[in-house]
Amino acid sequence: MKLKTDNFYKEGYLCIKDCLSQESSDLFCNTLLDITFFHLKKVGKYSAKIEKIYNSKKNTLDKLSMMFEMFETNDKEMLYQLQKFFPSSNNMKNIINSNYLSQIFRKLLKIDTNVPLLIDGPGIFVNRPNTKRLLYKWHSESHYYPKRRNFLNIWFPIFSKKNDKNGTMYIKKKSHLIKELPFNEYQGFDKSSENKKNHFIQYEVPENFIKKLKTYKANLSVNDLLIFDRKAVHTSTINKSNKYSFAAVFRVWDISKDLTISGDLAVKPYQNYGNGRPDLIVNDS
């Protein structure tokens, strides 16, 4: 494998240009639209409108944006539930299921071919123009999956490129090397959305803890892939354009080093004391 992986260890992320096939990207996007359509058209009030958009001559991005827009204003719970279907779709998961990528994932996770490589996702990040509800503050994935010691984050644009203008991903370089970072836990984005239903749970790493670090600003085309360390501190950015932009995320994980018996990726410590048992043995590195 020729790909240079030094950047992943040094800076905490690796960008691989043009590594997804157009065919698998198209299948991913069409499936995303189909699942959205069959889910949203169940709501009687919007059925006819959703059907009309789906059968129109618009492109997939425009169809999806129009459907999301209708529910974003009127019925967020439908969009919230929609997210839960995607991980059950082979058509979507297959986009990162190539031998080439599996070899890279194994190399970065430092695992042999017999160690199971588990794939969680996809999740779809919807960046609505000038909307804070769907954004994350600076955070580290390790705080969301505290019992998981060996996993990668995968992030890539779908439908259209992602950059500073339409909302992208910033990563603090070398932040994955910091031994321990505190975080502020709350629901919502700012004071106006505090504790609101269907808002994200933030484990915010305050900016002053990472302010000395340089920022990588993702500027990616469709079919490029960004892989980053579980401890790399990153953030969403606001979409300043007038069109929706979308990204897909996966987590690729190895269970062999985790000091828990739980099969739930996001298992939380200090709760019911039920995720461990006596006599567990895992490697210390």
Closest CA to 206 of 184, 239, 180, 232: 184
Q: How far is the CB of 189 from ligand AKG (least distance, A)?
A: 12
Shorter beta-carbon distance to ligand AKG: residue 50 or 82: 82
How far is the CA of 34 from the CAs of 57, 64, 89, in angstroms?
A: 15, 9, 11
* Whole-number Å distance between alpha carbons of 42 and 57: 22
Shorter beta-carbon distance to ligand AKG: residue 169 or 181: 169
**Residue 239 binds ligand AKG (CB under 6 A):** no
Q: Are 244 and 36 in contact (CB under 8 A)?
A: no
* Whole-number Å distance between alpha carbons of 98 and 83: 24
Closest CA to 148 of 234, 273, 259, 16: 259
Residues 80-139 interacting with ligand AKG (rule: CB under 6 A): 125, 136
- Please give the structure tokens belonging to residue 79: 């969009």
Q: How far is the CB of 266 from ligand AKG (least distance, A)?
A: 13
Q: Which of 140, 236, 239, 245 binds ligand AKG (CB under 6 A)?
A: 236
Shorter beta-carbon distance to ligand AKG: residue 227 or 267: 227
- Please give the structure tokens belonging to residue 180: 């321990």
Shorter beta-carbon distance to ligand AKG: residue 123 or 276: 123
Shorter beta-carbon distance to ligand AKG: residue 176 or 234: 234
**Residue 153 binds ligand AKG (CB under 6 A):** yes
Shorter beta-carbon distance to ligand AKG: residue 49 or 147: 147
* Whole-number Å distance between alpha carbons of 95 and 27: 8
Report which residue's Cβ sits closest to ligand AKG: 236
**Residue 247 binds ligand AKG (CB under 6 A):** yes
**Which residues partner with 192 through β-bridges?**
none
Q: How far is the CB of 16 from ligand AKG (least distance, A)?
A: 16
**Residue 169 binds ligand AKG (CB under 6 A):** yes
Shorter beta-carbon distance to ligand AKG: residue 72 or 141: 141
**Residue 224 binds ligand AKG (CB under 6 A):** no
Query: What is the full DSSP assignment across 154-205?
Result: EEEEESS-B-TTT--EEEETTGGG-S----EEEESSSGGGTT-TT-PEEEE-
Q: How far is the CB of 136 from ligand AKG (least distance, A)?
A: 5
Q: Which residues bind ligand AKG (CB under 6 A)?
A: 125, 136, 141, 153, 155, 169, 234, 236, 247, 249
